[in-house]
Amino acid sequence: MALGGVDSPLGRISVFVTRAGLVRVAYPEEPLDRVMEEVGEVVSPRILEDPRGTEDVRRAIDAYFEGRLRRFDLRIDWAFVPDRFSRRVLEATAQIPYGTVSTYGDVAARAGSPRAARAAGNALHDNPVPIVVPCHRVVPASGGIGGYGGQEWRKAWLLELEGTLAGGTLDVAEVPWRGVRAPDAARPGRPRVDDG
């Protein structure tokens, strides 16, 4: 398994890639030794720092942050996804277009369980490949941006990067599955968040 790092506006991101595809993305506050132990337990203890083995993933993430990539076309290794419902939630989330959002309920419905919005939220919180599977694009129907396993300020930053969060607020009163495009926003810094 290959390990690589990506310097990003959100800090240094670690990526783990198996022969099957991208298996794990870790934000900076996750201790790398702990993440490596977790990856070793779930996938393989043989982890090598390998710039060539992670090159496609690192380039894609760089391009996303530079505004040159709006849809990831990377193979995903779902080894960290414990059940079929969680995988269906993440697969549905991967289909939400750049610059749009959907609700937890809509994603649950797309995953085949319309009443499982809370379970969909749990699956998204445990998303092993954030950014690439854009769980940041899923928000509560009641308003605000909701929770995020990578910290709420990052979710707000990513939404603002994509032009979905304008002025630190997001109106999701009528967010259909196909998403709602928010007004254009300036390139983000660390936005204020109105979590309603």
| DSSP letters for 102-151 | EEHHHHHHHTT-TT-HHHHHHHHHT-SSTTTS-GGGEE-TTSS----TT-
Active site residue 6: no
Q: How many CB atoms within 10 Å of residue 62?
A: 14
Which residue shows structure tokens 């379970």? Answer: 119
**Looking at the DSSP assignment, which residues form a beta bridge with residue 12?**
7
The C-alpha torsion from 50 through 55 and 60 to 65, rounded to 10°, is 60
Which of 10, 43, 111, 135 does the annotation list as catalytic?
135
Pairing of strands 11-18, 2-8: antiparallel
Cross-strand pairs, 24: 16
Distance CA 36, CA 32 (A): 6
Nearest-angstrom CA–CA distance, 58 and 109: 32
Q: Which residues of 119-132 are buried (b: 16+ CB within 10 A; e: fewer)?
A: bbbebbeebbbbbb
Q: Which residues are catalytic?
A: 135
